[in-house]
Amino acid sequence: MVYWRRPLTRAKLVPPISHLSKLTIYAAKGDIKMRAARVSLLIFLIVTLSSCTVMGELQSKMLLRQANKLMERDTDVTQQWSDEFLEVFTPTNRAQFPANRDFLITHARQITKLLDESSSLNRRAADKYEQAARLSSSDQRRRGLTSIASALRKSEEVNEIFKSLMQIVSDETVVEQKIFNQRFLNTAQQVQLKRREMDHYTEEGKRLLNL
């Protein structure tokens, strides 16, 4: 059976958009914007770290440059899984569950693979931020870099919640469309809460680093 898949466009999403759809779309697209903002933030941090020893400063700039490359890669990966998520988990496709379970599982597996890659990139970038923070002689800058690292850790937690969302598709105990959508909604709400924590750490880091 061929299931309906409407191509994603940036200018217009598939109407009508339910409350559930708005939550999941906001969560996915919010992740893209957050990654892009962090890439710009990393570039600023590379040239503004100035309160370390000479050797420490060079090491910190190297670490932040490496983190920047990791987050640039994460932006691309996030774009990929978000595009597929928005294209596949439309209200129309979710309304066909569980008849289209196999179709959704195929895409959920690919999205999960990309989420794992994104989490790895976030984790490695956070490690480099924390290493750079330890090299700073300024308490304020150290706390700022640590806050950004915490934001990256929260981003990884957001990915884990999205992974749990993908696991609902293959949960054989979920056999009704209503239950499926309710669990989908509950998980999407968890994403929003976690993203607020991530935003808090990011803004705190920017404030401490005067960015």
Please write the tens of the pLDDT for every residue from 159-180. 999 999 999 999 999 999 999 9
E strands in the chain? none
- Report residue 33's pLDDT band, with 50, 70 and 90 as the boundaries: low
Angle value at C-alpha 6, between 97 and 21, nearest 5 degrees:
60
Mean pLDDT along residues 90-110: 95
**What confidence score (pLDDT) does residue 57 get?**
73
Which one-letter DSSP state was computed for residue 136? B
At 87 the three-state DSSP class reads helix
Q: What residues have CB less than 8 Å from 198, skipping those under 6 apart?
A: 34, 151, 154, 155, 157, 158
pTM of the model as a whole: 0.75
170 close to 108: Cβ distance less than 8 angstroms: yes
Mean pLDDT along residues 203-209: 93
Q: How far is CA 96 from CA 3, 89, 99, 178, 180, in A?
A: 9, 11, 6, 11, 11
**What confidence score (pLDDT) does residue 28 get?**
56
Residue 24 corresponds to which tokens in the numbers above? 């999941």
* CA 110 from centroid of its chain's CA atoms: 16
At 191 the three-state DSSP class reads helix
At 120, the amino acid letter reads: S
More confident position, 188 or 205 = 205
Q: What percent of the chain has pLDDT above 90?
A: 60
